[in-house]
Chain A
Amino acid sequence: MIQIQALNKWFGDHHVLHDVDLEVAQGEVLVVIGPSGSGKSTLCRCLNRLESASSGTIRIDGVPVPEEGRELARLRADVGMVFQSFNLFQHKTVLENVVLAPMKVRGVGRAEAERTARELLERVGIAEQAGKLPARLSGGQQQRAAIARALAMRPKVMLFDEPTSALDPEMVGEVLDVMAGLAADGMTMVVVTHEMGFARRAADRVVFMDGGRIVETGRPDTFFEAPRTDRARDFLAKVLTH
C-alpha cells in the first residue's frame, strides 16, 4: 500500500531523514516509535506531502506521490491524517467539519454527506456532539471528531501523528479504543505514538527511529521482549519505566 525508497529529507542543511526504506502492506498497522526529534512526524508528513521529500520515492497504492496541484489533492483525499493538535476547523460545527471535504472534494450531496457523517460520529462515540463547535468539546472528543472527519473521505490509508500526546491522560484511552477498532476493521494505518500498550495490542509491526534513520523493525512481541539494538533497548528502558 505504501512503498518508501531511499527517502531523504533536509531542512536547510539539517539532514532529518536518512535513506529511509519502508513498506506498509494493505491492512497492516505500523507503529512508529522513537525519541523526540528522530524524524517521525517528518516521515509521516512526507507520506501525504505536507513536507516534500528532498530525494527518494514514495508510492501510495502503486502511484508515486504527485508534486503538486490537483493530482496531489486527489492523492491526499485517499490518505487520512490525524494530527497531535486535532486541527478541527474552529469556525465549523463538528458535523460541518466532517461533511466539508466529502462535499467539496468528492462532490457528495449534503444529505448523503450528513448521513455518513452521523454514522461516523456514532462510530467514534460522539453523535450527540454533532452540532457543537470544536472549542466546546473535550480534547478526547475533538480527536475522535478529527478521526471521523478523516474517515469520511473513505481513505485507503490513515496516518496518525502522536494522536494522544496532547490529551489529558484520562482521555487517551477513548481515542486509542477508536484506533484499535479501525485496526481491527482492517484499515491500513501508520501510527506515530508513545503509547507502547497500543503498539503491543494493535500493531502488526513496530518501527523504531532514531536520528532520522530506521534503526530497528519487528513484530511487537519480539521487539518489546527482545530489542536487537542498544538504541532501541535504551529507548524502551526510558519510556517503559516512566
Chain B
Amino acid sequence: MSVLLDHLPEFWEGLVVTLQLTAASFAGAAVLGLVVTSMRVSPVAVLRGIGTAYVETFQNLPLLVLLVLAVFGLPEIGIKADLLVTAVVVIAVYEAAYIAEALRSGVNAVSAGQGEAARALGLTFGQSLRHVVLPQALRTVIQPLGNVFIALTMNTSLAAAVGVVDLTAAANRVNLIEAQPIPIFVGAGLAYALVAACVGLVTGRLERRLVTAG
C-alpha cells in the first residue's frame, strides 16, 4: 500500500486526466449520439443511411486503431491538435456509435402513436423527437446508457497507449520505478471502479431529471 501513498501526486494527476477524458468524451459522445439517433429515425432516407453507416463503421473498428490513426496520422496531413483534445474527440466519436445504438432501441420502444400524435398537432419532426419521443426513450435506456458510459470510462485507458498520461499511464510509470505491479495496478483498478460507480450514479440522476423536465 505504501507504494501508492508514496506516489500519490502522480496517481492524482493521472486520475485528473482520466476524469477529464471521461467527462469531456461523455459530453461529446452524448451530443453526437443524439444527432446520429435523430438521423437514424428521420424521415429522410439519406440521413438514415448516413446514421446507420456511422454506427456500423465505428462499432466495427477498434478504438485503439482509431486513436493511433488520429494521434500519429493527423499531424502527417498537417492537422496539429493537443494530444488530450485529439483523444477526447476520437473517444467521443467512437462511443457516440454505441450511445446512438442504445438510444435507438429506446426510440423503438416508444409507440409510434406518440410521434404521430405530436406530428398531427403540427410539431415538426425535430420537435416531436425532442419534446415527445426522446424524453420517453431516455427513460427506457438509462441502464444501457449507463453501461455505455462505464465502458467509455474503461476505454479512456487506451489513451495511455498513444501518450496521454492518464491514470493507467501514471500507474505504468510508477511501476517502472517501483516494480510492484500488483498493488499499483490493483490501486489503479479500484480508482477506475470508483469512477465507473460515480458515472453510473450521475447519469442515472441526470436522465431522471431530463425525463421529468419533459
Contact = CB atoms under 8 A, between A and B. Distances in A.
A105 B121 contact: yes
Interface residues of A, number: 31
Contacts of B132: 89, 100
A73 interface: yes
Interface stretch (A30-38, A55-63, A80-88): A80-88
Contacts of B122: 73-78, 101, 105, 153
Interface of A: 48, 50, 68-70, 73-81, 83, 85, 87-92, 96, 100-101, 104-105, 146, 149-150, 153
B19 interface: no
Interface of B: 43, 111, 113-114, 116-124, 127, 131-132, 135-136, 139, 211, 214
Contacts of B117: 81, 83, 87-89, 146
Prevailing SS type, chain B contact patch = helix
A76 B214 contact: no
A70 B124 contact: yes
Contacts of B136: 89-91
Contacts of A85: 113
Given A73-B119, A92-B214, A100-B121, 7 more contacts: A83-B113, A89-B117, A90-B136, A100-B123, A101-B121, A101-B122, A104-B123
B121 A68 contact: no
Contacts of B119: 50, 73, 76
Given A90-B136, A91-B139, A73 B124 contact: yes
B214 A104 contact: no
Nearest to B136: A91
B200 to A, nearest CB: 23
A96 B111 CA distance: 19
Considering residues A77, A92, A104, A105, which has the most beta carbons from chain B within 10 angstroms of its beta carbon?
A104
Contact of A89 (B118, B124, B127, B211): B118
Considering residues B116, B120, B127, which has the most beta carbons from chain A within 10 angstroms of its beta carbon?
B120
Considering residues A70, A74, A101, A153, which has the most beta carbons from chain B within 10 angstroms of its beta carbon?
A101
Contacts of A146: 117
A101 B118 CA distance: 8
Contacts of A79: 120
A150 B114 contact: no
A89 B211 CA distance: 12
Given A68-B43, A85-B113, A104-B127, A91 B135 contact: yes
